[in-house]
Amino acid sequence: MVRELADYRVEGFAAILHWPMREALIAYRAKMMQSAREAYRHELSVWASIAPHSTKKSDPPQPPAILREVVIDG
Protein backbone atom coordinates (compact mmCIF):
# COMPACT_ATOMS: atom_id res chain seq x y z
CA MET A 1 0.00 0.00 0.00
CA VAL A 2 2.84 2.40 0.83
CA ARG A 3 4.47 1.83 -2.56
CA GLU A 4 1.21 2.44 -4.36
CA LEU A 5 0.54 5.66 -2.43
CA ALA A 6 4.09 6.89 -3.08
CA ASP A 7 3.72 6.04 -6.79
CA TYR A 8 6.66 3.64 -6.40
CA ARG A 9 9.03 6.50 -5.59
CA VAL A 10 11.34 5.39 -2.77
CA GLU A 11 11.85 8.94 -1.56
CA GLY A 12 8.14 9.18 -0.73
CA PHE A 13 7.97 6.03 1.42
CA ALA A 14 9.03 7.73 4.66
CA ALA A 15 6.44 10.49 4.30
CA ILE A 16 3.65 8.00 3.65
CA LEU A 17 4.62 5.96 6.71
CA HIS A 18 4.01 9.02 8.88
CA TRP A 19 0.47 9.59 7.59
CA PRO A 20 -2.41 8.79 9.95
CA MET A 21 -3.93 5.41 9.05
CA ARG A 22 -7.28 7.00 8.15
CA GLU A 23 -5.69 9.36 5.63
CA ALA A 24 -3.67 6.55 4.07
CA LEU A 25 -6.76 4.38 3.68
CA ILE A 26 -8.76 7.25 2.16
CA ALA A 27 -5.96 7.97 -0.30
CA TYR A 28 -5.59 4.29 -1.19
CA ARG A 29 -9.34 3.95 -1.82
CA ALA A 30 -9.22 7.01 -4.06
CA LYS A 31 -6.39 5.44 -6.08
CA MET A 32 -8.36 2.19 -6.34
CA MET A 33 -11.42 4.08 -7.56
CA GLN A 34 -9.40 5.98 -10.15
CA SER A 35 -7.89 2.75 -11.44
CA ALA A 36 -11.32 1.07 -11.60
CA ARG A 37 -12.77 4.12 -13.37
CA GLU A 38 -10.04 4.02 -16.03
CA ALA A 39 -10.42 0.27 -16.58
CA TYR A 40 -14.22 0.54 -16.81
CA ARG A 41 -13.97 3.45 -19.25
CA HIS A 42 -11.69 1.32 -21.43
CA GLU A 43 -14.02 -1.70 -21.28
CA LEU A 44 -16.97 0.52 -22.16
CA SER A 45 -15.11 2.05 -25.10
CA VAL A 46 -14.21 -1.39 -26.46
CA TRP A 47 -17.81 -2.55 -26.08
CA ALA A 48 -19.13 0.62 -27.77
CA SER A 49 -16.72 0.11 -30.66
CA ILE A 50 -17.65 -3.53 -31.22
CA ALA A 51 -21.36 -3.66 -30.33
CA PRO A 52 -22.76 -1.86 -33.41
CA HIS A 53 -20.91 -4.26 -35.73
CA SER A 54 -21.81 -7.46 -33.92
CA THR A 55 -24.56 -9.78 -35.10
CA LYS A 56 -25.39 -10.72 -31.50
CA LYS A 57 -26.86 -8.24 -29.06
CA SER A 58 -24.60 -7.71 -26.07
CA ASP A 59 -25.14 -5.67 -22.95
CA PRO A 60 -22.62 -3.07 -21.90
CA PRO A 61 -20.15 -4.12 -19.21
CA GLN A 62 -21.24 -3.59 -15.64
CA PRO A 63 -19.26 -1.09 -13.58
CA PRO A 64 -16.99 -2.59 -10.92
CA ALA A 65 -18.42 -2.87 -7.41
CA ILE A 66 -16.25 -0.05 -6.07
CA LEU A 67 -17.84 2.34 -8.58
CA ARG A 68 -21.40 1.13 -7.96
CA GLU A 69 -21.07 2.33 -4.37
CA VAL A 70 -20.59 5.92 -5.50
CA VAL A 71 -23.71 8.06 -5.39
CA ILE A 72 -24.10 10.14 -8.52
CA ASP A 73 -25.90 13.45 -8.11
CA GLY A 74 -28.21 14.24 -10.97
Q: Among residues 70, 63, 66, 72, which one has the least CA distance to residue 44?
A: 63
- Specify the pTM: 0.78
How high is the pLDDT of residue 39?
95
* In the chain, where the domains are located: 2-68
Q: In this predicted model, what pLDDT tens digit does every residue of 20-52 receive, in sequence order?
A: 999 999 999 999 999 999 999 999 999 999 999
Contact 7, 1 (CB under 8 A): no
Task: Round the average pLDDT of the chain to a whole number and report it.
Answer: 91
Confidence category of residue 69, pLDDT binned at 50, 70, 90: confident
